[in-house]
Amino acid sequence: EVQLVESGGGLVKPGSSLKLSCVASGFTFSSYGMHWIRQAPKKGLEWIALIYYDSSNKYYADSVKGRFTISRDNSKNTLYLEMNSLRSEDTAMYYCAKNYGEVMDAWGQGASVTVSS
Amino acid sequence: DIQMTQSPASLSASLGETVTIECRASEDIYSNLAWYQQKPGNSPQLLIYDANSLADGVPSRFSGSGSGTQYSLKINSLQSEDVASYFCQQYNNYPYTFGAGTKLELK
């Protein structure tokens, strides 16, 4: 069974940094691209980043480009999202998801990030 | 960026009814469209990909159709467990974009 478990969320002040992790199990992590998607409170879904299975390519939403970095460690079955210069509008639940032919076929339970002074 | 316009924003239907949710893309997305279901308090789950292919384990009462810029999700014989929000998503171009969602409730 595919499992994705996010961690690292929390309450931080504007301008600060945070790093999310997503530990994967139940599939060959090193063979699949991975996404980060976020959902602001009571709002819709926003795709924010994709990393290929071998880290050869990374894509970002304009809203996070230059501030967020997606990375992975295939030896640890772990996906990361490093978030810098955080703003109040980054407040959201952050989900990692497994890529399957460009869609997200498995999602984690989410990590909550609140940016507030 | 490709804009995804989803309608209606909310929908109330009775058990056993057939419901349809629409999604319109701002340009041709060549059937590179997925539908996700998000039940209250849960993570989204993939329902449909490539506009009309059912994801593993999804009941056959769900179906997708469409092409070009117009797509729809149909739920036949609505069940209580279908109460959820539904989102369309295009993956034809980066950045991938989602519709604003449709909240489905029971009448």
B32 touching A, CB under 8 A? yes
| Residue ranges in chain B whose pLDDT is less than 50 | none
Question: Minimal CA–CA distance to B83: which of B37, B21, B28, B51?
Answer: B37
**Residue A102 near residue A86, CB atoms below 8 Å:** no
CA A97 to chain B, closest CA, distance in angstroms equals 10
Question: Minimal CA–CA distance to A36: which of A70, A85, A86, A2?
Answer: A70
Distances (CA, A) of A45 to A51, A64, B66, B98: 18, 14, 22, 6
Question: Minimal CA–CA distance to A45: which of B48, B85, B16, B52?
Answer: B85
Residue A14's pLDDT is 97
> How confident is residue A42, by pLDDT bands cut at 50, 70 and 90?
confident
Q: Say how many CB pairs under 8 Å bridge A and B.
A: 55
Residue whose token pair is 């117009």: B70
B71 touching A, CB under 8 A? no
CA A60 to chain B, closest CA, distance in angstroms equals 7
> How confident is residue A47, by pLDDT bands cut at 50, 70 and 90?
very high
CA B78 to chain A, closest CA, distance in angstroms equals 23
Q: Do B95 and A47 touch (CB under 8 A)?
A: yes
- Structure tokens, B88: 């369309």
**Residue B2 near residue B71, CB atoms below 8 Å:** no
Distance CA B61, CA B79 (A): 10
Q: Do B98 and A45 touch (CB under 8 A)?
A: yes
Residue A66's pLDDT is 97
- Structure tokens, B74: 């149909």
**Residue A91 near residue A116, CB atoms below 8 Å:** yes
A101 touching B, CB under 8 A? yes
Residue A57's pLDDT is 97
Residue A83's pLDDT is 98
Percent of chain A with pLDDT over 70: 100
Q: Do B95 and A44 touch (CB under 8 A)?
A: no
**Residue A80 near residue A6, CB atoms below 8 Å:** no
Percent of chain B with pLDDT over 70: 100
Chain B residues closer than 8 Å to A59 by CB: 94-95
Nearest CB partner across the interface for A47, out of B55, B97, B99: B97
Q: Looking at the predicted structure, is the pLDDT value of residue A72 above 90?
A: yes
